[in-house]
Chains A and B, each alone.
Chain A
Amino acid sequence: MLKAKFSLTLRHFELEAELEAENEILVLVGPSGSGKTTILKCLAGLKAPSQGIIQINDRIVYFSENKIDCPPKERRVGYVFQEYALFPHMSVRRNILYGVSKEKRHAKPRAAENMLEMLGILHLQNRYPQHISGGEKQRVALARALMTEPEIMLLDEPLSALDQETRSGLQQELKKIQRQWKIPFVLVTHDLTEAELLGDQIIRIDRGQSVSNRRL
């Protein structure tokens, strides 16, 4: 469960966000520069709002009045960045194990293989990010974030850099993964069709303000 209400002054406008998501896909849709990515950064703890509250399950990770500001590494938030942000000097396997502690690696030695298998990229595990395709990078980024067993998942334009064919395949897959993991996915896109296709709840944003909020 994710519940957030916060505001932040940006250079050209005031950003106000109010989100509530159960185990579903919440899509934030709007033109570029409307503040969508900033919302994700605030949720992840990479940027601090000027005021408000952010709650993930029963944990309050940010609350301006009590000066609570949990650092990103303790938020248990999975984040898939727009350009994937895979570590170029590590193999796919090392990338997806980066967020897994030593103890967990020992407790579940097959976890990495299972994850790669599920996403159909097991054969890529020894490759380096610069030698795999965009769709494959996207899967690796997703696998890497899921390996940390996050409580919510944030995806910033996860499909916009991909060609049409890869994109529709991954759209279905994303939906399936969300149903499997049963955690809130907050997905940012500028594409309204994609929002309609993926979202259980769609919030339209323009210049930092929510202009509509509907459930499908």
Chain B
Amino acid sequence: MSFDYTPIILSLKVATAAVIIVVLLGIPLAGHMARRNFPGKDLVEAFVTLPLVLPPSVVGFILLWLFGKNGPLGQFLTGVFHVSVVFNLAGAVIAAAVVSFPMMYQSAKAAMEGVDKTLENAARTLGAGELRIFLTITIPLSWPGIVSGFILSFARSLGEFGATLMIAGNIPGRTQTMPIAIYMANEGGDAATAMILVVIMTVFSFLVIFWLNRWSKRQQKGFIQEEGGE
């Protein structure tokens, strides 16, 4: 029996791309929301947190409607870039990014709110602009929270099933990620393949979380211990 590795590769690709999107959008948004008040802030807050509480099938349905042939975003993408994200890997990436976004956002925002505002004010009086303050004070001091958001969103992306199935479908070799392959193998009576994938998924997830946790602990202590070297 030959074992098909493509679902693993596809899952890693999807999770990596999704996490990159989530980091690039989530961290600036978290910084903005942690510091500023504006009308409608609560609405934005509720909106970006929604995928955390909605069933994945609901997220999938909404995404399918938005990005489908007649959906507003779907029409825009076909019209302007001649691409479609439905039933291909891009769709899987979008689904994974949407469901894992709240993890990154919540965790980064909570950490940034915890950064002493006096430190940011001190940087202001020292001539730093807002971007520099964000990059050199806010982000480094909320690093443990950012890393845990990263871990959670990566794990969530890797395990995304429902929304992915709806928008990207189940095309072996193209959009069939690990969780979908496990479901299909099990349904098809191929318990051996399902078992291998389950073991890989479990061990891999465990190692990622274990390693990142240890690493973030070291980071957290980093600037306290560095001093020992002098």
Q: Which residues of A contact B (CB under 8 A)?
A: 44-46, 71-75, 77-79, 81, 83, 85, 87-90, 98-99, 101, 126-128, 130-131, 144-145, 148
Contacts and interface: CB of A to CB of B under 8 A. Distances in A.
Interface string B98-121: 000000000000000000101101
A79 B122 contact: yes
* Chain B interface bracket (under 10, 10 to 19, 20 to 34, 35 or more): 20 to 34
A88 B127 contact: no
Contact of B128 (A90, A98, A131): A98
Nearest to A129: B223
B128 A73 contact: yes
Nearest to B120: A85
B53 interface: no
17 contacts: A45-B124, A45-B125, A46-B125, A72-B124, A73-B124, A73-B125, A74-B127, A79-B121, A81-B121, A87-B122, A88-B141, A88-B223, A99-B127, A128-B223, A128-B227, A145-B125, A145-B126
A85 B129 contact: no
A72 B226 CA distance: 32
Interface string B162-179: 000000000000000000
Nearest to B229: A126
Interface of A is mostly: loop
Interface of B: 116, 118-119, 121-129, 136-137, 140-141, 223-224, 226-227, 230
A73 B133 CA distance: 11
Contacts of B140: 89
Contact of B121 (A85, A89, A99, A127): A85
A180 B227 CA distance: 33
Nearest to B230: A126
Contacts of B141: 88-89
B119 to A, nearest CB: 5
Contacts of A78: 125
Contacts of B116: 85
Given A46-B125, A85-B122, A144-B126, 20 more contacts: A46-B124, A72-B121, A73-B124, A75-B125, A78-B125, A79-B122, A81-B122, A85-B119, A85-B121, A87-B122, A88-B141, A88-B223, A90-B223, A98-B128, A98-B136, A99-B128, A126-B227, A128-B224, A128-B227, A145-B126
B220 to A, nearest CB: 10
A87 B125 contact: no
